[in-house]
Amino acid sequence: MNRKLVKKQVTTPSLSDTVKRTCDTLKQGATRQVTDYEQRFSTLKNLYEDLLANLIKQGFNTKDAWETATDFFGSTTVRFAGLDGTLYSRPLFDMVIFFGGAYAATGTITFSENTAPRVKYDAKTMQQNMGISSVVPVYINEIPEVDHTFSAEEQPNEINPSKSLTDEEIANNSMIANAIMTFSEYYLAYKIAADQNQTTHILLMDRSLSMERASLLYETRKTDFWNAKSTLLGYAVSGDEPLDKNDLALARQHVCNHSLELPSPRADYLRYAITCLVEQKHQVNAEQVLSEFGITDDKRTRRVERALKNLVDKQILTEAKDVYTLNQKYLSSWERIKQVTVAVGDRLFFSKNVEAENASSMKIVKNGKEHWLTTLDISFLTLFTLQMLMEECWRKHILFLGITKDTAARDFKRQLIPILHNEKMLETSIQVKTLQTLPNTDRMILQSASIFNVRQITPPWSLIEYDSAFRSMLPDRKNRRGYISGAIKNKISLEKAFLKTYIQLSQAKTDQMLRSNVLLVDRLAYPKYDLKRESTVKFLNELSDGTKEPVETILYKDKTVENKLQNLVMTLLAAMAPTNIPEAFGHNKALFIADKIAKWNYSQFKSVVDTTAKWIVNNHKLRKFIFYMSTFRERRTNIEHARRENR
């Protein structure tokens, strides 16, 4: 029997069908998302009574803020600076131009006993040179050498094969401009804090300080990359000892504050805690180390012994008759790191004349040869600058604040509340499972709760302050009270360094439901104010070998616990929240001004680069050479532009 083969005709969808399908998919997906959020928001209606009533602080006292300002700053009239940055990159023929800078808005704030603080912004901020920037042209083929993110994980000297190496992909994915901008922001903040001619007592940054430090530690964690991608290794200034891997390792964790007991003598921080102790005491024996750290159990004692041996093996410590001293080379380690950071920072952001015609401000001379600073080096320098800045703020009583507008942080929902619930420290009828049905981010939870509870919650308000280390904690995996676990590989970030909270500053006079966005605020911790019995909670973390190490955190567990610095911070932030600028509603005016200055500088620099490009293209002496230097896309764009103009 003959069978006829019937071919199915495949019809290619028309353009209109494709557009219709895309629109339908978008509409259905968006509808599902909105419905999902609507269901999540329905659980928020009783959230204030069930959970937040005891965790939100309102009614901040101006007299208490005045008294705290007098005690903390030593004056009721102090200077402030708000900092923000900008970046720009653009392919220009066979190069990419990278630009990054930071700018500050400054002024004074006067605290009064009976009225809100009075804020005065400096006139002619842009003419007062409160800004730094750097421009770095890099040939396309050199970018993978400068930007360490293009390197392979296992072979740092090789390019990652998964990375696209087209000119456009290299230019668009490079982190060079972002690295310069981040470094410039912290470096400008450090320069302001260290200025001996003018004392600034309040520093505000448009960044999360604790998350920024964690990010920089993560960027610089791979010691295998140091030899391959760090130009700082082997570099020295003023005839000092060149930096080695031990210098970089010690400086990465150099947060030494004896009053806050930092770094903590536990886990990965133990070696650095010992180093800071030896630096302070000049020489110690094992018994002194155990006594200073309050260690009495056998397992922690063995960990101290192993840490001492490791430091001796790495030649950081020297041992003689059971007495440990710091190797002579590393007595000056932190000072040498600071000198290198300042030397490179000044060259990158302050040098007016380049020593050689073809020299770049992002190059340093090492062993008689020029070398590019890599993005790994810039991450190191940014981390060092942040820790230098922390030292200045502790020493000079500078209030150091980070304010983040848009954040996807979820540690209040996913870490803090479950831990408090597990510890029976939370007065709530809400179940932990119910938390999973709430909106995904802390900001959305709190912002929605504020709208649904207009009468109970009135801006300005703030959540209780809690240790930023909670971001890396989870309830104990065995559900034991008094215990916590590390969120990733049982590791917990440094405690007692930063405190964080969420705040809302403004609402409209005509409509109580019209409220400003919830902001994330974190600040430096200060021992005199934050390290008290009523504001600290100690947990235990059990390691894989059974060692139980204490983790002492700063936690203002409810609104009844006195927090003088939070009252001061909220009083000044409320005074600095503009009511007459719609686009800055409920934000910080100093940061808003700094952002405007940064954007103005961005537009000016962009105009300079664009104008330079046009001048080169139209220069008849260079035209033939530029034709071969230009990429295909640039050539096509220029021809299409010329064709449109001639129509």
Quickly state the pLDDT bin for 287 (edges 50, 70, 90): very high
Question: Which pLDDT value is given to residue 357?
Answer: 46
Beta strands, E only, 543-630: 548-554
Q: Is 288 exposed, middle or buried (0-12, 13-18, 19+ CB in 10 A)?
A: middle
Mind listing the pLDDT tens digit for each residue in 128-155?
Answer: 558 999 999 898 888 888 888 887 677 7
* Cα(492)–Cα(484) distance, integer angstroms: 9
Quickly state the pLDDT bin for 330 (edges 50, 70, 90): very high
Mind listing the pLDDT tens digit for each residue in 55-101?
Answer: 999 999 999 999 999 999 999 999 999 999 999 988 877 788 899 99
Quickly state the pLDDT bin for 279 (edges 50, 70, 90): very high
Question: Which pLDDT value is given to residue 356?
Answer: 44
Region 365-375: what's the mean pLDDT?
A: 91
Least confident stretch, 130-139, 274-283, 305-314, 432-441: 432-441
Please report, to the nearest 10 degrees, the dihedral formed by the alpha carbons of residues 627, 628, 633, 636 taken in order.
Answer: 40
Residue 26 vs residues 14, 19, 30, 33, 38: alpha-carbon distances, Å: 18, 11, 6, 11, 18
Residue 628 above 60 pLDDT?
no
Quickly state the pLDDT bin for 428 (edges 50, 70, 90): confident
Percentage of the residues of the chain whose pLDDT score is greater than 90: 64
Mind listing the pLDDT tens digit for each residue in 229-265?
Answer: 999 999 998 778 999 999 999 999 999 999 999 999 9
Domain with CATH 1.10.10.10 in the chain: 231-336
Question: Which pLDDT value is given to residue 342?
Answer: 96
- The bridge status of strand 118-121 relative to strand 202-205 is unpaired
Residue 587 above 80 pLDDT?
yes
15 or 287: which carries more pLDDT confidence? 287
Residue 392 above 60 pLDDT?
yes
Least confident stretch, 37-46, 271-280, 575-584: 37-46
Whether the Cβ atoms of residue 226 and residue 104 lie closer than 8 Å to each other: no
Quickly state the pLDDT bin for 549 (edges 50, 70, 90): very high
Residue 195 above 80 pLDDT?
yes
Residue 58 vs residues 74, 458, 528, 559, 569: alpha-carbon distances, Å: 26, 7, 23, 9, 13
Question: Which pLDDT value is given to residue 92?
Answer: 78
Identity of the amino acid at 158: E
Region 362-377: what's the mean pLDDT?
A: 92
Spatial neighbors of 92 by CB under 8 A, at least 6 apart, are 137, 609, 612, 613
Residue with tokens 């934050």: 530
589 or 42: which carries more pLDDT confidence? 589
The pTM of the full predicted model, rounded to 2 decimals, is 0.91
Residue 34 vs residues 31, 112, 442: alpha-carbon distances, Å: 5, 47, 18
Whether the Cβ atoms of residue 107 and residue 119 lie closer than 8 Å to each other: yes
Question: Which pLDDT value is given to residue 619?
Answer: 61
Mind listing the pLDDT tens digit for each residue in 460-478?
Answer: 999 999 999 999 999 999 9
Region 167-187: what's the mean pLDDT?
A: 88
Helix (H, G, I), strand (E, B) or coil at 340: helix
Spatial neighbors of 423 by CB under 8 A, at least 6 apart, are 481, 482, 537
Question: Which pLDDT value is given to residue 159?
Answer: 72
Region 422-439: what's the mean pLDDT?
A: 76
Residue 295 above 90 pLDDT?
yes
What CATH number has the domain spanning 231-336? 1.10.10.10
Q: Which residues pair with 121 in a beta bridge?
A: 107
Residue 433 above 90 pLDDT?
no
Residue 403 above 50 pLDDT?
yes
Query: Helix 270-281 and helix 286-293: axis angle, to 10°?
Result: 110
Least confident stretch, 253-257, 364-368, 432-436: 432-436
Chain centre distance of CA 153: 24
Mind listing the pLDDT tens digit for each residue in 485-521?
Answer: 999 999 999 999 999 999 999 998 888 888 999 999 9
